[in-house]
Amino acid sequence: MLRLHGFAVSNYYNMVKLALLEKGVPFESVIVHGSQSPEFLAISPRGKVPVLQTEQGYINETSAILEYLEELVPAHPLLPAEPFARAQVRALVKEIELYIELPARACYPQAFFGFTLDPAITAKAKDELLAGFAALKRHGRFAPYVAGEQFTLADLYFLYSVDLACIVGKKLFDLDLLADFPAARALFERLAQNPHVQQIAADKDAEMAAFIAQVRAGKK
Protein backbone atom coordinates (compact mmCIF):
# COMPACT_ATOMS: atom_id res chain seq x y z
CA MET A 1 0.00 0.00 0.00
CA LEU A 2 1.15 3.55 -0.68
CA ARG A 3 2.39 5.46 2.36
CA LEU A 4 2.22 9.24 2.53
CA HIS A 5 4.86 10.84 4.75
CA GLY A 6 4.15 14.30 6.13
CA PHE A 7 1.90 16.04 8.62
CA ALA A 8 -1.59 17.48 8.60
CA VAL A 9 -0.59 21.15 8.85
CA SER A 10 1.59 20.99 5.73
CA ASN A 11 -0.23 22.49 2.76
CA TYR A 12 1.80 20.47 0.26
CA TYR A 13 1.05 17.25 2.16
CA ASN A 14 -2.64 18.16 2.03
CA MET A 15 -2.54 18.59 -1.75
CA VAL A 16 -1.39 14.99 -2.14
CA LYS A 17 -3.75 13.75 0.55
CA LEU A 18 -6.71 15.32 -1.24
CA ALA A 19 -5.61 13.81 -4.56
CA LEU A 20 -5.42 10.35 -2.96
CA LEU A 21 -8.83 10.76 -1.31
CA GLU A 22 -10.47 12.10 -4.47
CA LYS A 23 -9.05 9.25 -6.51
CA GLY A 24 -10.08 6.71 -3.90
CA VAL A 25 -6.54 5.34 -3.56
CA PRO A 26 -5.93 3.51 -0.26
CA PHE A 27 -2.91 4.84 1.62
CA GLU A 28 -1.35 4.93 5.06
CA SER A 29 -0.13 8.12 6.71
CA VAL A 30 3.33 8.34 8.25
CA ILE A 31 3.48 11.40 10.48
CA VAL A 32 6.81 13.16 10.04
CA HIS A 33 8.06 16.75 9.75
CA GLY A 34 10.60 17.88 7.19
CA SER A 35 14.14 17.70 8.55
CA GLN A 36 17.81 17.59 7.68
CA SER A 37 18.45 14.34 9.53
CA PRO A 38 20.46 11.82 7.50
CA GLU A 39 17.58 9.30 7.74
CA PHE A 40 15.05 11.73 6.33
CA LEU A 41 17.41 13.13 3.67
CA ALA A 42 17.77 9.56 2.42
CA ILE A 43 14.12 9.60 1.36
CA SER A 44 13.66 13.33 0.65
CA PRO A 45 16.84 14.92 -0.76
CA ARG A 46 15.93 18.47 0.35
CA GLY A 47 14.41 17.34 3.62
CA LYS A 48 10.85 18.34 2.81
CA VAL A 49 7.45 16.72 3.01
CA PRO A 50 5.43 15.22 1.46
CA VAL A 51 7.12 12.02 0.39
CA LEU A 52 5.22 9.12 -1.16
CA GLN A 53 6.50 5.64 -0.36
CA THR A 54 5.79 3.11 -3.09
CA GLU A 55 6.82 -0.51 -3.55
CA GLN A 56 9.64 0.71 -5.78
CA GLY A 57 10.90 3.45 -3.47
CA TYR A 58 10.24 7.05 -2.46
CA ILE A 59 8.97 9.99 -4.51
CA ASN A 60 9.49 13.54 -3.29
CA GLU A 61 8.26 16.90 -4.69
CA THR A 62 4.51 17.38 -4.69
CA SER A 63 4.16 17.95 -8.42
CA ALA A 64 6.10 14.75 -9.19
CA ILE A 65 3.94 12.80 -6.73
CA LEU A 66 0.73 14.18 -8.21
CA GLU A 67 1.79 13.38 -11.76
CA TYR A 68 2.81 9.86 -10.64
CA LEU A 69 -0.60 9.29 -9.05
CA GLU A 70 -2.30 10.54 -12.19
CA GLU A 71 -0.43 7.98 -14.28
CA LEU A 72 -0.82 5.19 -11.73
CA VAL A 73 -4.54 5.71 -11.17
CA PRO A 74 -6.27 7.20 -14.21
CA ALA A 75 -9.68 6.96 -12.45
CA HIS A 76 -11.10 10.27 -11.23
CA PRO A 77 -8.63 12.21 -13.38
CA LEU A 78 -7.15 15.44 -12.05
CA LEU A 79 -5.85 16.42 -15.48
CA PRO A 80 -8.02 16.91 -18.58
CA ALA A 81 -7.70 14.38 -21.41
CA GLU A 82 -6.90 16.89 -24.12
CA PRO A 83 -3.23 18.02 -24.39
CA PHE A 84 -3.89 21.77 -24.69
CA ALA A 85 -6.23 21.71 -21.69
CA ARG A 86 -3.65 19.67 -19.71
CA ALA A 87 -1.01 22.29 -20.51
CA GLN A 88 -3.30 25.03 -19.20
CA VAL A 89 -3.73 23.17 -15.90
CA ARG A 90 0.02 22.68 -15.59
CA ALA A 91 0.66 26.37 -16.32
CA LEU A 92 -1.86 27.38 -13.65
CA VAL A 93 -0.23 25.00 -11.15
CA LYS A 94 3.16 26.55 -11.83
CA GLU A 95 1.82 30.09 -11.67
CA ILE A 96 0.14 29.48 -8.31
CA GLU A 97 3.23 27.81 -6.90
CA LEU A 98 5.88 30.22 -8.19
CA TYR A 99 4.01 33.51 -7.95
CA ILE A 100 1.68 32.99 -4.97
CA GLU A 101 2.84 30.06 -2.83
CA LEU A 102 6.56 30.93 -2.74
CA PRO A 103 6.30 34.67 -1.97
CA ALA A 104 3.67 33.92 0.68
CA ARG A 105 5.89 31.18 2.15
CA ALA A 106 8.75 33.68 2.54
CA CYS A 107 6.45 35.54 4.97
CA TYR A 108 5.24 32.53 7.02
CA PRO A 109 7.78 33.10 9.84
CA GLN A 110 6.21 36.50 10.55
CA ALA A 111 2.59 35.65 9.67
CA PHE A 112 2.37 32.42 11.68
CA PHE A 113 5.34 31.97 13.97
CA GLY A 114 5.97 35.32 15.63
CA PHE A 115 9.30 36.14 13.96
CA THR A 116 10.10 39.56 12.47
CA LEU A 117 11.37 39.55 8.90
CA ASP A 118 13.62 42.03 7.13
CA PRO A 119 11.25 44.66 5.63
CA ALA A 120 13.02 44.23 2.28
CA ILE A 121 11.84 40.61 2.20
CA THR A 122 8.24 41.45 3.04
CA ALA A 123 8.15 44.37 0.56
CA LYS A 124 9.37 42.07 -2.22
CA ALA A 125 6.83 39.40 -1.23
CA LYS A 126 4.01 41.95 -1.29
CA ASP A 127 4.86 43.06 -4.85
CA GLU A 128 5.14 39.44 -5.97
CA LEU A 129 1.86 38.45 -4.33
CA LEU A 130 0.00 41.31 -6.00
CA ALA A 131 1.45 40.28 -9.36
CA GLY A 132 0.68 36.61 -8.66
CA PHE A 133 -2.95 37.28 -7.84
CA ALA A 134 -3.27 39.49 -10.93
CA ALA A 135 -1.91 36.61 -13.03
CA LEU A 136 -4.36 34.14 -11.47
CA LYS A 137 -7.20 36.54 -12.21
CA ARG A 138 -6.08 36.78 -15.84
CA HIS A 139 -5.51 33.07 -16.43
CA GLY A 140 -7.89 31.28 -14.05
CA ARG A 141 -11.27 30.43 -15.56
CA PHE A 142 -13.18 29.75 -12.36
CA ALA A 143 -15.95 28.02 -14.28
CA PRO A 144 -16.40 26.98 -11.53
CA TYR A 145 -12.97 25.36 -11.00
CA VAL A 146 -9.66 27.13 -11.55
CA ALA A 147 -9.08 25.66 -15.03
CA GLY A 148 -12.72 25.24 -16.07
CA GLU A 149 -15.45 22.67 -15.53
CA GLN A 150 -13.22 19.94 -14.12
CA PHE A 151 -11.65 19.70 -10.67
CA THR A 152 -7.92 19.47 -11.42
CA LEU A 153 -4.44 19.70 -9.95
CA ALA A 154 -4.78 23.49 -10.22
CA ASP A 155 -7.57 23.36 -7.63
CA LEU A 156 -5.30 21.48 -5.21
CA TYR A 157 -2.69 24.23 -5.44
CA PHE A 158 -5.38 26.92 -5.30
CA LEU A 159 -7.03 25.47 -2.21
CA TYR A 160 -3.88 24.94 -0.20
CA SER A 161 -1.71 27.87 -1.34
CA VAL A 162 -4.05 30.77 -1.99
CA ASP A 163 -5.72 30.45 1.43
CA LEU A 164 -2.38 30.86 3.22
CA ALA A 165 -1.33 33.69 0.90
CA CYS A 166 -4.54 35.51 1.86
CA ILE A 167 -3.69 35.18 5.55
CA VAL A 168 -0.22 36.57 4.82
CA GLY A 169 -1.79 39.46 2.86
CA LYS A 170 -4.10 40.31 5.73
CA LYS A 171 -1.63 39.91 8.59
CA LEU A 172 1.41 41.58 7.05
CA PHE A 173 -0.02 44.11 4.63
CA ASP A 174 -3.62 44.59 5.78
CA LEU A 175 -4.62 43.57 2.26
CA ASP A 176 -7.64 41.51 1.24
CA LEU A 177 -6.16 39.76 -1.78
CA LEU A 178 -9.58 38.37 -2.75
CA ALA A 179 -11.48 41.65 -2.32
CA ASP A 180 -12.00 42.09 -6.05
CA PHE A 181 -11.86 38.38 -6.87
CA PRO A 182 -15.40 37.05 -6.24
CA ALA A 183 -14.86 34.02 -8.49
CA ALA A 184 -12.04 32.82 -6.25
CA ARG A 185 -14.12 33.40 -3.12
CA ALA A 186 -16.96 31.39 -4.68
CA LEU A 187 -14.58 28.54 -5.47
CA PHE A 188 -13.34 28.43 -1.88
CA GLU A 189 -16.96 28.16 -0.74
CA ARG A 190 -17.66 25.36 -3.22
CA LEU A 191 -14.53 23.40 -2.26
CA ALA A 192 -15.38 23.76 1.43
CA GLN A 193 -18.48 21.61 0.77
CA ASN A 194 -16.32 18.66 -0.32
CA PRO A 195 -16.25 16.01 2.46
CA HIS A 196 -12.60 15.17 1.80
CA VAL A 197 -11.66 18.85 2.08
CA GLN A 198 -13.60 18.99 5.35
CA GLN A 199 -11.80 15.91 6.68
CA ILE A 200 -8.39 17.38 5.82
CA ALA A 201 -9.34 20.70 7.45
CA ALA A 202 -10.40 18.90 10.63
CA ASP A 203 -7.14 16.92 10.73
CA LYS A 204 -5.20 20.15 10.22
CA ASP A 205 -7.10 22.05 12.92
CA ALA A 206 -6.44 19.24 15.37
CA GLU A 207 -2.67 19.57 14.89
CA MET A 208 -2.34 23.32 14.33
CA ALA A 209 -1.86 24.67 17.85
CA ALA A 210 0.76 22.08 18.77
CA PHE A 211 2.65 22.66 15.51
CA ILE A 212 2.75 26.45 15.94
CA ALA A 213 3.91 26.11 19.54
CA GLN A 214 6.62 23.67 18.42
CA VAL A 215 7.96 26.01 15.72
CA ARG A 216 7.84 29.04 18.03
CA ALA A 217 9.80 27.11 20.62
CA GLY A 218 12.38 26.36 17.92
CA LYS A 219 11.98 22.66 18.45
CA LYS A 220 11.02 21.68 14.93
Ligand X SMILES: N[C@@H](CCC(=O)N[C@@H](CS)C(=O)NCC(=O)O)C(=O)O
Give the residue with the Cβ less far from ligand X, 142 or 158: 158
Give the residue with the Cβ less far from ligand X, 125 or 142: 125
Parallel, antiparallel or unpaired: strands 2-6 and 27-31: parallel
The interface region with ligand X, picked from 8-16, 22-30, 127-135, 182-190 by CB under 6 A, is 8-16
Q: Is 161 in the site for ligand X (CB under 6 A)?
A: no
Give the residue with the Cβ less far from ligand X, 185 or 203: 203
Give the residue with the Cβ less far from ligand X, 155 or 181: 155
Q: Is 11 in the site for ligand X (CB under 6 A)?
A: yes
What is the C-alpha to C-alpha distance for residues 220 and 217, in angstroms, rounded to an integer? 8
Smallest distance from ligand X to CB 47, Å: 5
- Give the CB-nearest residue to ligand X: 34
Contact by Cβ (8 Å): 129, 103:
yes
What is the C-alpha to C-alpha distance for residues 211 and 115, in angstroms, rounded to an integer? 15
Smallest distance from ligand X to CB 144, Å: 26
Q: How far is CA 181 from the centre of its chain?
A: 20
Site for ligand X in 17-76 (CB under 6 A): 34, 47-49, 61-63
Give the residue with the Cβ less far from ligand X, 46 or 138: 46
Give 99's DSSP letter.
Answer: I
Crossing angle, helix 119-139 and helix 83-96, to 10 degrees?
Answer: 160
Backbone Cα Rg of the chain: 17
Phi-psi region of 10 (alpha: psi -120 to 50; beta: other; left: phi over 0): beta
Q: Is 151 in the site for ligand X (CB under 6 A)?
A: no
> Which of 12, 151, 158, 181 touches ligand X by CB under 6 A?
12
Amino acid present at 155? D
Which positions lie near ligand X, rule CB under 6 A? 10-12, 34, 47-49, 61-63
